[in-house]
Structure 1
Amino acid sequence: MGCGVKEDKTTAPGGRKYFELIVFLFLLNIISFVVPITGFALKTCRISYNIAICVRNDLRAVPRDIPSTVEAFDLSSNKISRIQESDFKHLPVLTQLDLNRNYISQIESGAFANLTSLKRLNLNNNKLTELGEDLFHGLSNLTELRIMSNHIKAVASTSFKSMTRLKLLDISHNKLQHITKVHSIIQHLPHLRELYIKNNNLTTFHSWELTNSSLELKYVDLSQNPISVFSVTADVFPNLTWFNIGGSPRKQLMKWDVRNKTFLSRVSTLDISGLQMTFDDIKSLLETVNSSLTSLRMNAMKQHLPALINISCSIPTMSTLQLRYNKLRFVSSGLFKLCINVTELDLTENKIRNIHDSAFRSLQRLRILSLSHNRLSSVPAATRNLPTLGELDLSSNNISKLGCDDFTNQTMLRQLSLYQNSVSALSECVFKDLIRLQVLKLQTNRISNLNGAFQKYFPKLTKLYLNKNELMAIKQGEFRGLQSLQNLSLHENKIDTLENGCFIGLTNLTDILLQKNHIKENELNKGVFNDLINLRRLDLRDNCIKYNSSSALPYAPFSQLFRLETLAIPLQHCKGKSHLPRNFLQGLTNLLVFNARNIQLLSLHKDMFNYTPQLQTLDISSNELMDLSPELFSPIQNLQSLYVSRTSLRSLNYLTDANLTKLQFLQARKNQYSVISEEIIQSLPALVYVDLQGNSFTCGCDNAWLLKWIVNNNQTQVFDAYNFECNYPVNLKGKKLLDLSIQSCSVDIEFIYFISTTCTILLSMVVSFTYHFLRWHLAYAYYLFLAFLFDTKHKNKQAPNQYDAFISYNTHDEPWVIRELLPKLEGEQGWRLCLHHRDFEPGKPIVDNITDAIYGSRKTICVISRRYLDSEWCSREIQVAR
């Protein structure tokens, strides 16, 4: 075989298609990188029970990161001055929106257009001056609109056109000034039931100005307007039942002009407090509602009060009379002589010092009497003549002593309020006739001794309030007569002694409040709570219950309270560190909430919660806990809320092995957590809210996963995440954690897949191109490299050459070589020549034969011809020879 074999120069198939495929895959990966992902870390708000709460955050604009699924949005008490068209477009299921107490002076047209589900809108206490055309467009399902305390002077005719389902409108404390503006509002509200337009500087009211208005109005408030003429000549309020026409501070008499007494004949509740009218006009007003009135408020009346009481009490249907702020001082015997049908009388805030013993004699049907916030020094004897009285309020007076006859014959009394007086002691006989009493309020007095007042007589009492007194001890059997009691408030006293059997008889008690007393741990060890077999809630906060060891107690203090659901024991102003005995919670098999906040706790024994398998909420914040064992949480797999703020814990690693699969709420504020790992979060699959505010975060790659999770996760709300600050390293201290760039930290699997795929495709294309175009060049280069290695290996060896010369020629020149060259060199010169057709080894690769022939010969003779130069193999032979 000669050196005349030529290569195949056919083009590689599919090269362009491979290239187009690579470009497509590259663009596909680029697109995947820029798809936006909405996270659940809100910058200024928090979500609670599907309500976005952004209260008191000094916001100047509506935040745009609120999830579209929220049903209520509270933006009250901020500094928002303008509502833009796009502010609420992404909240299609919102039903309640509260913008109260802002600085809103402008609302763009269409700002509420997308809130088709909204039912309640609060714009109170802002700076709106006018309501423009179609301002409330889109609010077709709104039922309540409150825009009181703005500066509204003008209302466009179509402002309320869209709100056909509105039932309540409060536009009080504005500057409408004329009833025609009210008409332009309510003419578009066919189902309006409640209208509040108090204090709008309305000076006249003429019914003809409200023609064709809402016929469903039942509640109208026109109070505090300086109306000089109130004229009704048409039945514009056919369904009105609640009417407030109370006066304004101005000294201007209102003229009453309602000639047809049937126009207001359905009014059952009337408020004329502070109204300034002539006696005849007030009399005419009361006669207008004579057939239907059941409740009348005449607060702060400046004249004719006794006569007005007589007139109102002459109305046969009138049953509720409110007379606050009238400066009565003394209640005479004849003041209520005609009020035989009154069942509820309110005399609050009248500076009453004395009441005649017969003042209430005619009120034989009275069920509720309020004498609170007066200046009574004792329980008035007049109250003993009320056989049907069910509720008596004597709170906030100057009563210092209770006598045995104060509540004589009050057998029907169900609620008695004596709080905020100066009572210092009780006696055994003081409540002897109150056999039907259900609620007794004695808080905020000076009671230091109960003197057996609750050992009998109270078969139906369910709530007893004794908080904020000066009790120092609860004696044995002190509450023996309260078998029906369910709620007992003893907090904020000076109790330091709980005698054995002090709660005997309280078998139905469910709630007892003992916080802010002087109770110590030795009082609990007596078994004082054993009688409270139905107790559900026990609050011992701010006492001084402190143990020096976690060793088991000989007698667990709550061992009999197997129905207890809530236990709170936080301390305050109690010096020294503390522990909790390992069996402190023994017996509490149904405990749901345990609050051990701020008890200066150093540790928790791993067996602490072995007795509380149902625990759902645990608060151990504000303690000096250095470590928590994962075993501590093993018995409480139902835990849903965990509070571990302000502790000495440096990590949350104990959660990774705690198996808290139901934990939903985690508060871990103001600790020393520097790194929150992926393992911690992944171990809490049900987590929906986490508060890590005020921790010392490390701003580095250790927290790279946390940053990505905060922004990208859609399940867990990370409270105040945008205000997390770096504490390490020093050069980044104070920098916002979420401003940290983590591109250099993360290994993007998708990007790796993209690079791998791209490289594989490119490699396939290169191999294809090489095979089709350069395979012979590569083969030649390979053997040339082998030749170089062979030459390097053998160039210093002096092995004898097999031939004198290797003849390199083209097969077309072979006749000349045989006839001319061979006889000359071999015949005449005696050389031994190597010829490929004669001396090459059969079966051996041609390149190997060429290489062996060249290295086995002293010289190489090349027969150059045109065909030789065109031959690819001949060219390789000469290059190998070189």
Structure 2
Amino acid sequence: MFSLRLVSTLLLFFSQDQRVTPYSFEKCEVHEVLGNRTKVLCYNRNLKNVPSHLPGKVDALDLSNNKIRSLWRTDFRNLGHLQVLNISQNKIEHIEGGAFIHTSYLEFLNLTANRLTLLSSSMFDGLTNLTVLMLGNNQILKIEPYAFAHLEKLKVIDLSSNRLYTMNAMLAVFKVESLQELHIKDNDLQNFSTKQIISVPEQLRELDASHNPISLIDVTTSVLQSLSSLDLSFSIPNISIIWLIQDPCFLKGLKTLFLGGIAMKPPAISEVIQMINCTWLEAIHLNQLHLTETDGLIEQVCLRHGNVETLNLQHNLFTSVNEGAFENCTHLRYLNMAFNKLKVLPMTLFQSLHSLKLLSLANNKFTMVPNATSNMASLECLDLSFNKIYRILPDDFAHLNNLKSLYATGNRISRVHSNIFGDLHSLQELNLEINLLTEIDEPFPGSLKNLETLILRQNKLDSIKKDVFKNLTSLLVLNLADNQIAAIEPGAFEGLSNLQSLVLGSNKITKDTFQEGLFQGLSSLVELDLFNNYISYKSSKMLANPPFKLLKSLNKFNINSQRHNGLENFPVNFLEGLQSIVQIHAGNLAISFLDPKTFKYTPTLEELDLSDNSLNNVSNMLFWPVPNLRELHLNKNGLNSLSFVSHGNLSKLTLFRGAENQIDVITKEQIRALPALGFLDLRENTFACSCSNEMFLNWSLKDPKTQVLHFYQYICASPSTQKGQKLWTFETSSCIIDYGFILYITNTSAAILLMLICFIYQWRLHMIYSYHLLLAYFIDKREKRKERVMGYAYDAFLSYNTHNEEWVINDLLPVLENQYHWKLCLHHRDFEPGRSILENIVNNIYMSRKTICIISRHYLESEWCSKEIQVASFRLFDENKDVLILIFLEDIPSEYLSPYHRMRKLIRKKTYLKWPQDEKEVALFWQKLDMAMKTGEGKEEEHPILPRFASDEVP
């Protein structure tokens, strides 16, 4: 039907991938779809009026589900390019004449579910290109004679569920010469009489008058002789229905007749079928009529309309069908007998149906495949879903050589033998989901060489054996979701060289399932779904055999979980081999850490979803290997900053979602790092209404390129005086500096300031050092009191810069923790969430017996590393204990150590270690470090850690 095609096109238009356009509005979102067409979405925003200042080049506007009561001439005056307008589910009761005078390009107008009572003659003026007009579910009582007079291209009108009680009330509709479809169902029509219709458009082909309490159907004129589809289903009057058809040829063009659910007995329906004898009906719908095999209605239909191609008998009370019932329906192509009570059928029932393509016997009570379905050479689709079939025999599908689709969903099949598919050489789709299959103990046969889709989801399979799919060389989709699969033998997918989609979600797959060669043979696999499984690892270390290294063509990977307990540790090379990947969905897995090298194996990645994890600290280098990333979803991760984007190589990112985190400030550097950003969603974060967000606030309101989605709903979390207020209401004028006053102060004190600046410049590094030393002194006094009553929680606190994290993780930790069994304290692993960084540093240094400082140039430049070594060295000097171990990863010139003169002095007196460049000396290095760790373990007086080596001297 025309309307279905158009609606499908419109749905596609509203659901295309979104791209940025240079507009942003308070309660709307602007998107761009294919062909540079712009759509504006303002649905469900509590709007009471059509928003003003909408972009002039809007092609589609969605204002549905709001509270708009009236439409005025000025509402759409700037929308001259508008083609689609959805303003359904509002409270519109008045439309000013000429409201659409400026929207001459409009093709689709949806006013469904409003409160209109009158369609005036000027209401739709200007809509010269309108094709579809949806007015259903209003309160329309009257249509003025010329309401549609200027709608020269109107093809579809939907007036369903209104109050147009008579055909006379619709005379204006029948004047639309271009009309092809008319829907007037549920209007409380009691008479359907052609006498009340003066004329009908010649192009009118479909008339839907269903769900009306029609008691009289009077066809006494020829105005409907061009009608091809008439729907009178579910006509349920207070009294019996009377049919008056003066001349059968008054409906000579009728091809499709809907009588489902009509309040008529089978004999009366039979009489109507016989009355309509001047036309060759192609489709007859007799569903939901309480029909049984004793009514003989099937025989009557086939006898009177032997050319019928579609017969819908679903939702009746058939327990069987009389033998020979379809004998005269030799042209039948589509037969639907679903939702009956069929248990058995005569074996020869369908023998005369040589043209039958589709047969649906779903939702009946068969316990075996009926013999009547065999030997149907023309059949292409057989639906046996939701019966009680528990077994399939070898002859059940005999001679169905042209069968392309077989549905046996929702039965009780526990075992499938390969010989039952012997004659299904043309089968393309096989659906056995929601059964009781426990195993597939033999390979699917070679006769299924054309099978493209195999659905086995929601069974009881616990394992997949080798070679079971080897003969399915044309298979494109394999769905094994919702089983209990824990074991998959290597080679199970051999032969599936053309498979594009493999669904293994909601099973019991663990890391042990990923045996080497598991995905062997899947060279064409494009999509892999592993959602809701039990895959977990004890650490993020490299895997010896990455599970997906053979999937070179994989485009989409889904490992989401609904349990929030999945892949907590993400091995650094878990994604190795996915060189063509575009989308990764890994939400709700409780991931707390991702190694900076995690995505170096996925350089083609464009869309990444890590929402609902525990990634409150994201490495600056994590996204550096994925320069093509366009969508990033980090909702619900506990993020307190977007600092990682500043160094993330995200120059092509167009959509970023970081809703429901703890982000308080967005900086200029972070925005500049996302030059292609089109959409930013930061709803439900803890924004600070302060001058630190002045730039973000102004940018969100004025930037012509990026839309900050739902920005006007952002709430202030701090300071307390602003808590609960809208961020956009923060008055940034308070952040403006009084430059006149500052200039006055500057001029009067310029000389003093200059002297201070010179002094501070000369001694700045020493002052910084003194500040940290003084801070450490007060902290030390506090911590010494704690130490008297508390023991040590760790053997050593590790102080290092993130640039040296790889050496720490891959070299230091394995030796000290695994080989020598020392318990170490690391920032990302052992710091207490919720505490400040400085407080965590101090507490953990004093909870550790020693502090190991990994010294490098980056270390000396780090503010936090500086704080750590100050606290540790102060503890050393104050307690006079050997609690500090220094490891130099590189040669440090003396000028680099000059600001740290106390540390330099310490190095000359105490032992330090240097990471050797010669691999032969590495073992000695670890021995020396272990001896250093052992020093001071007992209560005896501590001794020097190691004798100093000449090679370890600092110049």
Q: Compute the displacement of 1:336 (Å).
A: 2.0
Aligned to 2:299: 310
Q: Compute the displacement of 1:276 (Å).
A: 5.0
Q: Tell me the secondary structure at the aligned position of residue 217 of structure 2.
A: strand
Aligned to 2:286: 298
- Partners of 2:129 and 2:607 in 1: how far apart? 39
Q: Compute the displacement of 1:616 (Å).
A: 0.7
- Partners of 2:616 and 2:231 in 1: how far apart? 63
Q: 1:360 to 1:39 in 2, by over 3 A?
A: closer
Q: Where do residues 113-512 of structure 1 align in structure 2 (5 Å cutoff)?
A: 113-187=101-175, 189-250=176-237, 252-276=239-263, 279=267, 283=271, 286=274, 288=276, 290-301=278-289, 306-314=295-303, 315-452=305-442, 454-512=444-502
Q: Tell me the secondary structure at the aligned position of residue 522 of structure 1.
A: helix
Q: 1:304 to 1:429 in 2, by over 3 A?
A: closer
Q: 1:285 to 1:377 in 2, by over 3 A?
A: closer
Q: Tell me the secondary structure at the aligned position of residue 416 of structure 1.
A: strand
Contact 1:474 1:495 in 2 (8 A): yes
Contact 1:39 1:710 in 2 (8 A): no
Q: Tell me the secondary structure at the aligned position of residue 440 of structure 1.
A: strand
- Partners of 2:336 and 2:85 in 1: how far apart? 36
Aligned to 1:74: 62
Check if 1:98 corresponds to 2:86: yes
Q: Tell me the secondary structure at the aligned position of residue 130 of structure 2.
A: coil
Q: Tell me the secondary structure at the aligned position of residue 601 of structure 2.
A: coil
Residues 787-806 of structure 1: per-residue CA shift (max 9 Å, x gap)? xxxxxxxxxxxxxxxxxxxx
Q: 1:60 to 1:527 in 2, by over 3 A?
A: farther
Q: Quick one: higher RCO (CA 8 Å, sep 6+), 1 or 2?
A: 1
Contact 1:669 1:694 in 2 (8 A): yes
Displacement over 6 Å in runs of 4+: none
Aligned to 2:26: 42
Q: Tell me the secondary structure at the aligned position of residue 464 of structure 1.
A: strand
Q: Compute the displacement of 1:83 (Å).
A: 3.5
Q: Compute the displacement of 1:290 (Å).
A: 4.6
Q: Tell me the secondary structure at the aligned position of residue 695 of structure 2.
A: helix
Aligned to 1:794: none
Residues 793-828 of structure 1: per-residue CA shift (max 9 Å, x gap)? xxxxxxxxxxxxxxxxxxxxxxxxxxxxxxxxxxxx
Q: Tell me the secondary structure at the aligned position of residue 573 of structure 1.
A: coil
Aligned to 1:17: none
- Partners of 1:290 and 1:451 in 2: how far apart? 58
Aligned to 2:789: none
Structure 2 segments unaligned to the other structure (5+ residues): 1-21, 744-955
- Partners of 1:204 and 1:693 in 2: how far apart? 55
Contact 1:648 1:671 in 2 (8 A): yes
Name the aligned partner's letter for residue 557 of structure 1. Answer: P
Name the aligned partner's letter for residue 529 of structure 1. Answer: F
- Partners of 2:356 and 2:566 in 1: how far apart? 57
- Partners of 2:275 and 2:470 in 1: how far apart? 54
Q: 1:180 to 1:720 in 2, by over 3 A?
A: same
Residues 715-741 of structure 1: per-residue CA shift (max 9 Å, x gap)? 111111011011111221111100100
Q: Compute the displacement of 1:318 (Å).
A: 1.5
Residues 457-482 of structure 1: per-residue CA shift (max 9 Å, x gap)? 31111011111121111111121221
Q: Compute the displacement of 1:207 (Å).
A: 2.9
Name the aligned partner's letter for residue 92 of structure 1. Answer: G
Name the aligned partner's letter for residue 395 of structure 1. Answer: S
TM-score computed with the length of structure 2 as normaliser: 0.71
- Partners of 1:499 and 1:490 in 2: how far apart? 15
- Partners of 2:424 and 2:292 in 1: how far apart? 38
Q: Tell me the secondary structure at the aligned position of residue 633 of structure 1.
A: coil
Name the aligned partner's letter for residue 95 of structure 1. Answer: Q
Name the aligned partner's letter for residue 312 of structure 1. Answer: V
- Partners of 1:247 and 1:618 in 2: how far apart? 49
Which residue of 712, 725, 736 corresponds with 1:735?
A: 725
Residues 15-67 of structure 1: per-residue CA shift (max 9 Å, x gap)? xxxxxxxxxxxxxxxxxxxxxxx961433656464333344444444444644
- Partners of 1:303 and 1:206 in 2: how far apart? 28
Aligned to 2:563: 573
Residues 478-519 of structure 1: per-residue CA shift (max 9 Å, x gap)? 212211110111111111111111111111100011111111
Q: Tell me the secondary structure at the aligned position of residue 127 of structure 1.
A: coil
Residues 741-776 of structure 1: per-residue CA shift (max 9 Å, x gap)? 001224699x99xx9xxxxxxxxxxxxxxxxxxxxx
Aligned to 1:812: none
- Partners of 2:514 and 2:444 in 1: how far apart? 23
Check if 1:546 corresponds to 2:536: yes
- Partners of 2:288 and 2:394 in 1: how far apart? 35
Aligned to 2:889: none
Contact 1:82 1:107 in 2 (8 A): yes
Q: 1:209 to 1:480 in 2, by over 3 A?
A: same
Q: Which range moved further: 96-105 or 364-373?
A: 96-105
Residues 152-192 of structure 1: per-residue CA shift (max 9 Å, x gap)? 221112222232211001112222111112222231x1111
Which residue of 551, 557, 570 corresponds with 1:561?
A: 551
Aligned to 1:620: 610
Residues 687-715 of structure 1: per-residue CA shift (max 9 Å, x gap)? 11110111111111110011111111121
- Partners of 1:126 and 1:324 in 2: how far apart? 34
Q: Tell me the secondary structure at the aligned position of residue 447 of structure 1.
A: coil
Determine what percentage of the aligned residue pairs are the same residue: 33
Q: Tell me the secondary structure at the aligned position of residue 226 of structure 1.
A: coil
Residues 528-570 of structure 1: per-residue CA shift (max 9 Å, x gap)? 1121110000011111222233332222211121111001122
Contact 2:76 2:99 in 1 (8 A): yes
Residues 387-435 of structure 1: per-residue CA shift (max 9 Å, x gap)? 2111011112222222233222222211011112222332333323222
Q: 1:619 to 1:300 in 2, by over 3 A?
A: closer
Aligned to 1:689: 679
Aligned to 2:630: 640
Q: Which range moved further: 114-123 or 509-518?
A: 114-123
Q: Compute the displacement of 1:288 (Å).
A: 3.5
- Partners of 2:397 and 2:737 in 1: how far apart? 81
Check if 1:680 corresponds to 2:670: yes
- Partners of 2:54 and 2:319 in 1: how far apart? 56
- Partners of 1:373 and 1:123 in 2: how far apart? 37
Name the aligned partner's letter for residue 265 of structure 1. Answer: K
Q: 1:132 to 1:291 in 2, by over 3 A?
A: closer
- Partners of 1:369 and 1:649 in 2: how far apart? 56
TM-score computed with the length of structure 1 as normaliser: 0.76
Q: Tell me the secondary structure at the aligned position of residue 374 of structure 2.
A: helix
Contact 2:443 2:471 in 1 (8 A): no
- Partners of 2:492 and 2:72 in 1: how far apart? 64
Name the aligned partner's letter for residue 42 of structure 1. Answer: E
Name the aligned partner's letter for residue 337 of structure 1. Answer: E
**Matched positions, count:** 714
- Partners of 2:198 and 2:664 in 1: how far apart? 70
Q: Tell me the secondary structure at the aligned position of residue 638 of structure 2.
A: coil
- Partners of 1:736 and 1:65 in 2: how far apart? 22
Residues 252-279 of structure 1: per-residue CA shift (max 9 Å, x gap)? 4444333344332222222222345685
Name the aligned partner's letter for residue 163 of structure 2. Answer: K
